[in-house]
Amino acid sequence: MLVFIAKRFLWMIPSLFAVSFLAFVLIQLPPGDYVTTYIATLAASNEIVDQNTAAQLRERFGLGDPMLVQYFKWMWGILTRGDFGISFEWQQPVSDLIWERMALTLVLALSTLIATWAIALPIGVYSAVRKYSIGDYFFTAFTFFGLAVPSFLLALVLMYVAAVEFGQDVGGLFSPEYENASWSFAKMVDLFSHLWLPVIILAVSSTASLIRVMRANMLDELPKPYVTTARAKGLSEFRLLMKYPLMIALNPFISTIAWLLPNLISGSVVVAIVLNLPTAAPLLLQALMAQDMYLAGAFVLLICALTLIGSLISDILLALVDPRIRLE
Amino acid sequence: MAKEILSRGVTRRAVLGGMAGVAALSIAGRVSAAGGEAPALAQLAKDGKLPPLAERLPKKPMVVTPFEKVGTYGGSLRRGLRGSSDHNGILRMVGNQSLVRWNLDFTAVQPNLAERWEVSDDATQFTFHLIEGVHWSDGHPFTADDVVFAIEDCVKNTELYSSTPAQLAVAGKPVTVEKIDDYTVKFTFAAANALYLENLATPLGQHPTLFPKHYCSQFLPKYNPNIEADAKKAGVTSWTELFRSRCGDIEIPSRWGNVDKPTLDPWVVKEPYAGGATRVVMTRNPYFWQVDTEGNQLPYIDEINFGISQDVESLMLNVISGKIDIQERHISVLANKPTLSKNMEKGDYRLLTLVPSASQQCQIYFNITHKDPAMRKMFADKAFRQALSIGINRQELIDIVYFGQSEPYQAGPRPTHPWYNEKYARQFTEFDADKAGAMLDEAGYKKGSDGFRLRPDGQKVFFSIDVIPTLYPDLVDALELVKAHWAQIGVDMKVNTIERALYYTRGDDNAHDAAVWPGPGGLDPMLDPRDFFAFHPQGSRYAIPWTLWYTSNGARGEEPPESQKKRMKLFDEARSTADLDKRGAIMKQIFDIAAEEFETVGLCLAVGGFGIIRNNLRNVPEKEPDSWSWPNPGPAMPQQFTFTS
């Protein structure tokens, strides 16, 4: 097992290089560069930018270099100094900008994951065991509703109701007094008192699909002979369910952990923008729109790293949980 | 429209002259500082943490007459910004402390940090007398040295500014600034610069008061030999980057990203505008140098809280639930007006009217210098452009897209402006599809079998018009209607909705068939004449290569035809003519030529925007110009805004 994990780790290194290069190329693909966007922004308020100034900016940011040179300069900085470069737009080191955002993103992602599983697993099992009962129909209806409603729409409706009908402050993850405060217990409490709304909104759609997956898997397992055997041997219904069919039915949940982390970041972009959440998604979108390439590149790189780590975790967990999987 | 804001007997004549009334005002603007100060500051002064008020204020502080009444101290003003590149949203509210400023009507330049000035007869020398005893927000005195430092050491430093900003250079040579005494500075230009005072009152005129010498000199190699090492320590690659991140520039985000930089603004940064910030908080400047008519130090309001919304819809939600005190930026599109009008009571606000300084709501720029010779020939054909112009049903467009709130218009100063040119503004705006068809027939664009016209070379008459949907959604709607109108006269057009950067790249490469943009120059024709001749390297989209020829003095681009060259010469002449009547006569010649050439096709007169003001926020004019040169609401002086409860 340890050898397996070590091998997987080694494989992650070239993979990261490959995805970082691809990400860098993709970010540069749209026409124009940061300076074009900067000029466009100023001109939107009818401002003239001197052509010399534009040329000077390009030179200052090294935008005139060939892409490969830019890429190696960037990677060299990261590998040797942990320096992700400077954000053009903010004139700040990228590393100052990303860490807190990434941390909050992980908090949101993990909370959503836990909430999703906590709702989806029991309901999925229940729906399978009590197939075609009133409860099953109820939850089935709920899942279709959850799948059909776009989460940003749900966010807008909930915000409108909260803001206009109840006068609640709904945007963001913190109350104004904690927004720029340093971390403390009180700030944590404040965070969790704001976290539930985005968590519910984000959890609704993924919960719906997970309930269906769980129900289908359980229905596959329940009629199998080993279940009948166990039941004949007098195992209680609850222990029986927990011990065998559930473990096997969990397989798709575990093997999708790798996608969950990047999905929760990229899938929550619209919701995060609507709800004004200080997570990575809105900053990433802004950086992409402004062609602020080092900032965008750092985010994409981190998300790729998370995906790789996620797939490692799911492989390990699968090996542990599913008795059918062997390393050889 | 101008008459709507010219409410105080100042005639439009005084607008561009800008000298009238100045002397009277600067004398009236002197009383002794015997008034009050904000309670929090009074407490600090009492505790010995701040010098007493009399020492913080100039001996003769500038007196601001409150718009409605003398205000009361306190309160936090809430306003919205967007997440990215919205630094000018702060500038417009806070950063208008230049040597001079605009009056409320956008008609005359008034004293600000300079209490008076003299201009030489040939308009090459400007001598400014600064208010004595003004302090930066850290208590350090503001003197002529700061102005000289800002221009001579910063702006003219070729490593920081590889070329001098346009306002500060005439005839290719940068201005020279000398100190006469501690409170007198002289600006000398290489040639006449008659518009300098007006330019100085615009946001781009802020350089002379932007860089405090005692603070910013530590980021220049001339004053700090260890600067490269300091830059490395700060994690940036060069001293110029360090300078920009610490001292900023007029319009870059980092101007609002450093809480340590002293300023002359009424409020100073407390929580900076930095990457990923969710709000920006500014707090009162204890050394602010203006008082009201009773001698109370301004500003009245303690704090400004700019919430950063990623999404305009959530900003709208904040407005209608009463969580924003004054806002026009981002929400002022017509489509929002019904929603905002309906919720006035719930949000407890009133509406603010914006008078556009722009001329045209949607100017169509056919690329007369198109790379493809056949397309170039077609667009350069005046009869073709005229036919397309009368083929547009402008009234239908105004009724549908602009709720009837406009009138057919081509280009030029707005109808109330003294330089208004009837022909230039109204020609070819009558809808007549039959006549348009006949004109196209005559110009050689006959209809083919499918009902669409063919060029003389047998190709179908087809072109695309570039438009940025995220920036101007109304222009997309307008173009869709124009497309339908033109289809009736046999012309096929594609509404090319593209992303912002691509729009600019296509313009810079001269790769566009045509493009649309709102046409400026309605109330400020001298400040942005891009539609009148090939003036603006990004904006005069009907002939970008000609503008390059003009801005590079013939070194780049493509040589324009005689009528363009004549207008370029006339404009240079107008720019250096101090006498307003003579200047007007020159500009009118430009409008006559432009009307004759008919290079751009306009749809309708620019429509006014609007905003909201909470009912408990007073001293706010409910009608103001909407312009970058008059960076609303700044010249309405937010420092004298006050809350009633």
Kindly report, residue by residue over B562-611, the tens digit of the pLDDT: 999 999 999 989 988 888 889 999 999 999 999 999 999 999 999 888 89
- For every residue of B516-539, which 3-state class applies, written as one string? EEEECCCCCCCCCCCCCCCCCCCC
Instruction: Map tokens 């534009």 to a residue.
Output: A54
Inform me whether the pLDDT recorded for B30 exceeds 60.
no
Closest chain B C-alpha to A12 CA, distance in angstroms: 29
Write down the domain spans for chain A: 94-324
> What 8-state DSSP symbol labels residue A163?
I
- Do residues B502 and A30 make contact, with C-beta atoms less than 8 angstroms apart? yes
Whole-complex ipTM: 0.73
Interchain pair B628, A60: CB under 8 A:
no
DSSP B63-100: EE--SSS------EEEEEEESSS-HHHHHHHH----SE
Interchain pair B310, A96: CB under 8 A:
no
Q: What gap in Å lies between CA A9 and CA A235, rounded to an integer?
A: 42
Higher pLDDT, A170 or B601: B601
Q: What is the pLDDT of residue A65?
A: 76
The pTM score is 0.81
Encoding tokens for residue B97?
């402390």
Q: What is the pLDDT of residue A34?
A: 78
Inform me whether the pLDDT recorded for B629 exceeds 80.
yes
Encoding tokens for residue B644?
């009633």
The string over B515-544, giving b where at least 16 C-beta atoms fall within 10 Å of a residue's C-beta and e elsewhere, is bbbbbbbbbbbbbbbbbbbbbbbbbbbbbb
Starting at the edge strand found earlier in the chain, the sheet holding B125-130 runs: B114-119, B125-130, B184-188, B176-181
With an 8 Å Cβ cutoff, is A155 touching chain B?
Answer: no
Most B CBs within 10 A among A41, A53, A293, hence the mutation to make, goes to: A41
Least trusted range by pLDDT, from B19-23, B405-409, B622-626: B19-23
Q: How far is CA A16 from its chain centroid? A: 18
Q: What is the pLDDT of residue A45?
A: 55
- Do residues B6 and B107 make contact, with C-beta atoms less than 8 angstroms apart? yes
The values of phi and psi at residue B123, to 5°, are 55, 35
Average pLDDT in the B475-503 region?
A: 93
- Do residues B453 and B459 make contact, with C-beta atoms less than 8 angstroms apart? no
Q: Where are the alpha helices (DSSP H) in B443-493?
A: 473-488
Q: What is the pLDDT of residue A140?
A: 85
- Do residues A305 and A262 make contact, with C-beta atoms less than 8 angstroms apart? no
Q: Where are the alpha helices (DSSP H) in chain A?
A: 2-28, 34-44, 51-60, 67-81, 94-129, 134-148, 151-160, 185-221, 225-232, 237-243, 245-249, 251-255, 257-266, 269-274, 280-289, 293-321
Short-list B426, B276, B601, CA closest to A298: B276
Inform me whether the pLDDT recorded for A322 exceeds 80.
no
Average pLDDT in the B482-489 region?
A: 95
The mean predicted confidence, pLDDT, of chain B is: 89
Short-list B130, B129, B124, CA closest to B142: B130
With an 8 Å Cβ cutoff, is B234 touching chain A?
Answer: no
Interchain pair A90, B257: CB under 8 A:
yes
With an 8 Å Cβ cutoff, is A30 touching chain B?
Answer: yes
What residues in B contact A159, CB-CB < 8 Å?
Answer: 314, 317
Short-list B320, B319, B292, CA closest to B307: B319
Inform me whether the pLDDT recorded for A272 exceeds 90.
no
Interchain pair A56, B503: CB under 8 A:
no
What residues in B contact A30, CB-CB < 8 Å?
Answer: 499, 501-502
pLDDT in tens, B457-474: 989 999 999 998 877 888
Interchain pair A51, B271: CB under 8 A:
no
The values of phi and psi at residue B251, to 5°, are -130, 65
Short-list B182, B174, B169, B180, CA closest to B213: B182
- Selected residues 106-165 of chain B with any CB under 8 Å from a CB in chain A: 161-163, 165
Instruction: Tell me the three state secondary structure of residue A51.
Output: helix
Interchain pair A60, B520: CB under 8 A:
no
Task: Grade residue A328 by pLDDT with cuts at 50, 70 and 90.
Answer: low
Inform me whether the pLDDT recorded for B14 exceeds 70.
no
Cα B434–B439–B442 angle (5° rounding)? 125
Q: Which residues, in sequence order, are CB contacts of A302 under 8 Å at separation 6+? A: A98, A102, A280
With an 8 Å Cβ cutoff, is A116 touching chain B?
Answer: no
Interchain pair B500, A37: CB under 8 A:
yes
Of B252, B274, B500, the CB nearest to A92: B274
CA terminus-to-terminus distance, chain B: 34
With an 8 Å Cβ cutoff, is A220 touching chain B?
Answer: no
* Other beta carbons within 10 Å of B3: 10
The domain over range A94-324 is classified in CATH as 2.60.120.280 = no
Task: Grade residue B398 by pLDDT with cuts at 50, 70 and 90.
Answer: very high
Out of A106-110, B13-17, B348-352, the most confident range is: B348-352
- Do residues B593 and B563 make contact, with C-beta atoms less than 8 angstroms apart? yes
Encoding tokens for residue A89?
């737009």
Instruction: Tell me the three state secondary structure of residue B625.
Output: strand
- The pLDDT > 70 percentage for chain B reads 95
The values of phi and psi at residue B363, to 5°, are -95, 130
Inform me whether the pLDDT recorded for B378 exceeds 70.
yes
Task: Grade residue B5 by pLDDT with cuts at 50, 70 and 90.
Answer: very low
Inform me whether the pLDDT recorded for B342 exceeds 50.
yes
> What 8-state DSSP symbol labels residue B138?
T
Q: What gap in Å lies between CA B82 and CA B73, rounded to an integer?
A: 28
Q: How far is CA A71 from CA A12, A108, B221, in A?
A: 19, 31, 31
Short-list B414, B416, B417, CA closest to B584: B417
Task: Grade residue B312 by pLDDT with cuts at 50, 70 and 90.
Answer: confident
Q: Which residues, in sequence order, are CB contacts of B279 under 8 Å at separation 6+? A: A176, A179, A180, B271, B305, B306, B307, B308
Instruction: Map tokens 């004449």 to a residue.
Output: B529
Closest chain A C-alpha to B69 CA, distance in angstroms: 32
Interchain pair B162, A56: CB under 8 A:
yes
Short-list A109, A124, A115, A94, CA closest to A264: A109
Short-list B278, B252, B256, B253, CA closest to B267: B256
Of A44, A87, A163, the CB nearest to B321: A163
* Other beta carbons within 10 Å of B458: 8
Higher pLDDT, B145 or A244: B145
Interchain pair B504, A45: CB under 8 A:
no
Higher pLDDT, A45 or B189: B189
Residue length of chain B: 645
Short-list A94, A89, A93, A102, CA closest to A291: A89
What residues in A contact B204, CB-CB < 8 Å?
Answer: 47
Instruction: Tell me the three state secondary structure of residue A60.
Output: helix
Closest chain B C-alpha to A207 CA, distance in angstroms: 26
With an 8 Å Cβ cutoff, is B245 touching chain A?
Answer: yes
Q: What gap in Å lies between CA B536 and CA B196, rounded to an integer?
A: 19
Q: How far is CA A91 from CA A39, A231, A294, B229, B257, in A?
A: 16, 67, 11, 18, 9
Task: Grade residue B29 by pLDDT with cuts at 50, 70 and 90.
Answer: very low
Inform me whether the pLDDT recorded for A50 exceeds 50.
yes
With an 8 Å Cβ cutoff, is A39 touching chain B?
Answer: yes
Q: What gap in Å lies between CA A310 and CA A23, rounded to an integer?
A: 19
Instruction: Tell me the three state secondary structure of residue B181.
Output: strand
Inform me whether the pLDDT recorded for A38 exceeds 80.
no
pLDDT in tens, B241-299: 889 889 988 888 889 999 999 999 999 999 999 877 888 999 999 999 999 999 999 99
Inform me whether the pLDDT recorded for B140 exceeds 60.
yes
The values of phi and psi at residue B28, to 5°, are -60, -25
Q: Which residues pair with B114 in a beta bridge?
A: B130
pLDDT in tens, B37-78: 999 999 999 999 999 999 999 999 999 999 999 999 999 999
Angle formed by the axes of helices B433-442 and B382-390, nearest 10°: 160
Instruction: Tell me the three state secondary structure of residue B354.
Output: strand
Q: What gap in Å lies between CA B264 and CA B255, rounded to an integer?
A: 13
Q: What gap in Å lies between CA B543 and CA B331, rounded to an integer?
A: 33
